Each structure stands twice: as C-alpha cells, then as structure tokens.
Amino acid sequence: MPIDSQQVTWVEEPDIGFWEATFLPAIVAGLKTTLRHVTEYKPVTKQYPEEKPSLPEHYRGVHRLNRDEQGRVKCVACMLCATACPANCIHIEAADAPPEWPDRDKFPASFVLDELRCIYCGMCEEACPVDAIELTHIYDLTGRTRNELVYDREQLLSIFDKTKDNPRDPVRTHRGKLGPAAAFKELPTVGPATAVPAAERAAVATAPGVIGPDPQTLQGQ
C-alpha cells in the first residue's frame, strides 16, 4: 500500500546549544518536578476493607474449577495445565471416570493448586482444552499457614459456586459440553508442513501426510 506523503509529518532533529549539552536545563526541570511533588503532596488513603479497590477487568486472581451442565467437574485430567505452568504449582492425580460419565475417560481424583507459589500468569487457563480452570477477581486470600493456601479440588469447585453468578466473574467460555476438544469425533487429516517430493512414499499415500507402504512394493509382492 503506497504511503500518502501528505499524511507523513517530518520531525527535524532539534539543534542542541551549549546549555542543552551541559544537561543543566534538564536537571533543573527534574528538580522542579521533584519539589512540586514534595510541596503539593496530597496522599489518598483508602479505608480498606470497608472501601474495596476498583480492579481492572483483566485482573487475574484466585483460581476456580468450573462445573459442567450436570454439576460435574469439567476437568478431564489431561495434565496440560500442569505441564504449561511455569511455577509448577499444579498437581493432578487422574483416575478412570465413573461408569455414569460416558463422555470422558478420566477425571481428576486429586487436583491441588498452590496459590502462594502461583505467579498468576494465566497460562493454565490458556492451555486447558475443556475450559475447566479460570482465574477470578478474588484478590484477598488469607491464611494463617501455608497449607491453608494450598487449594484442593473441592475448594476450587467451591470458588466456582461462589463466583459463577458474579458479573465480574462470568463463565467466559461456552464451547460445548466439554469444550472444543470434545467436538472432535475423529482427528482430521493434517497435511505435511513442507512440500513432499514425488518420489517420497508420503506423496503416494492414501491420506496426505501419512506414510504407508510403497505401492510398488505391494505390486511386487
């Protein structure tokens, strides 16, 4: 796309005189700013906890484990959140799903998250394929011991029960009963990332990118 020369503003490099080269004007301007903050200092004190802070919409706080439409934990114990976690604060023990859960193979028999070790980066939320874990706006978590801030599965589910109707913490994803990963009945065929020469076995395979037996070899048999 060509650039319209009328929309371009050219800025010339300013000439630096003797005084500017000594940086004295810049130092004086900085001192004026410092003195203004000292003489016009007006602190603002919030009466917490009576006065709650106003947090931004993208604030990431305490985690929760979501429930599905049947009230079951959404997590399928795929371990992706624990694998993606840079702080290594998630520990999951998987077990076979109960017979009355025919739509999944596994569920988390144990799900432990250390809220003190977590760095609240949100990577677990991004990695989860079934939208089971989310971060909420809860910021004021307290405990008398470190063990009180190591949350298990039931505690994380209870946070979901407390926050699901809060307009600040809606269930942000509605992509199927178990999320986007449950939408696949079978994996689609994926082509090779690079071009395959005609002489390669993958070029004459029954499906793109799948290496099968050489048809010439089969004809020889």
Asked if residue 36 belongs to a domain, the reply is no
Instruction: Tell me which residue range forms the domain holding 118.
Output: 63-182
**Chain-centre distance of CA 9, in angstroms?**
40
Asked if residue 169 belongs to a domain, the reply is yes
The count of domains in the chain is 1
Distance CA 107, CA 109 (A): 6
Asked if residue 187 belongs to a domain, the reply is no
Q: What is the CATH number of the domain that holds 124?
A: 3.30.70.3270
Q: Taking the model in full, what pTM does it have?
A: 0.62
Residue 195 confidence (pLDDT):
61
Asked if residue 119 belongs to a domain, the reply is yes
Asked if residue 220 belongs to a domain, the reply is no
Distance CA 102, CA 182 (A): 12
Summarised one tens digit per residue, pLDDT across range 115-162 is 999 999 999 999 999 889 999 999 988 899 999 999 999 999 999 999
Asked if residue 34 belongs to a domain, the reply is no
